[in-house]
Structure 1
Amino acid sequence: MSTTTLLWVFIVAGMATYLIRLSFIAVEGRVRLPAWFRTALQFVPAAMLSALIAPDLLMRDGNLYLSPLNARLVAGLVAIVIAARTRSVGWTIAGGMAVLIAMETLI
């Protein structure tokens, strides 16, 4: 793929992303969205974050890896517990990273 083609792909993808996001901002207040749709929109950030993180925690070399030796999975579970108890982003990141580094060092 040539550099020019790649540049155009980036430009078009960026414009498409911008227009999609702008569409929600532009129609705010002008269009009355159904209550079920507004309720569903509240779950989009959590669903997207889960879709991005879950494969990294659960997969290794393209295979499902559910084991107590899976450092990323254990660190992720510890981070979930810390987040649920403290509601602190800092403690969640620090605790999860500490467990991940410790397990990767020991294993």
Structure 2
Amino acid sequence: MNYTVMILGMAAVTVFIKAAIFVLGSRAVFPPLLQQALGFVPVTVLTAIVVPMVLAPHGGGMELSLHNPQLVASIVAVLVCLATRRQLVTIVAALAIFFAWQFGGFT
């Protein structure tokens, strides 16, 4: 029962905030510092999701070795991105390395 109330409360708060911004439209003006800080939210959330999956893919301790295909692919992705600055090339290269490492017997 407590979990249900908690989930419903979080849903209500989320809907209220989104609805308020939607209804107010351009009349909702944020201070410049807050606007700048909100620009970092997507990068921060994505980093918080991806880094634990790369460093500890099985949920245990960190796996900082060449037996971790996620880590190898992410290192390749960073290097390809730095070299080419092309998003699609980076994704394709990282996926190719990941699958080669995962299924090619390198682990």
TM-score, length basis structure 1: 0.72
Q: Which runs of 5+ in 1 are unaligned?
A: 1-5
Alignment of 1:1-40 (within 5 A): 17-40=14-37
Shift of 1:36: 1.1
The answer on 1:68 being equivalent to 2:66 is yes
- 8 Å Cα contact 2:81/2:87 also seen in 1: yes
Corresponding residue number in structure 2 for 1:101: 99
Structure 2: gaps spanning 5 or more residues: none
* Partner residue in 2 for 1:48: 45
Q: How far apart are residue 70 of structure 1 and its match? A: 1.4
Counterpart code for 2:88: G
State the distance in 2 between where 1:18 and 1:87 align. 38
Shift of 1:87: 3.1
Query: Which residue identity does 1:54 align to in structure 2?
Result: V
> TM-score by structure 2 length?
0.72
Match of 1:58 in 2: 55
Is the 2:21–2:28 Cα contact (8 Å) retained in structure 1?
Answer: no
Aligned to 1:3: none
Task: Determine if the alignment matches structure 1 residue 80 to structure 2 residue 78.
Answer: yes
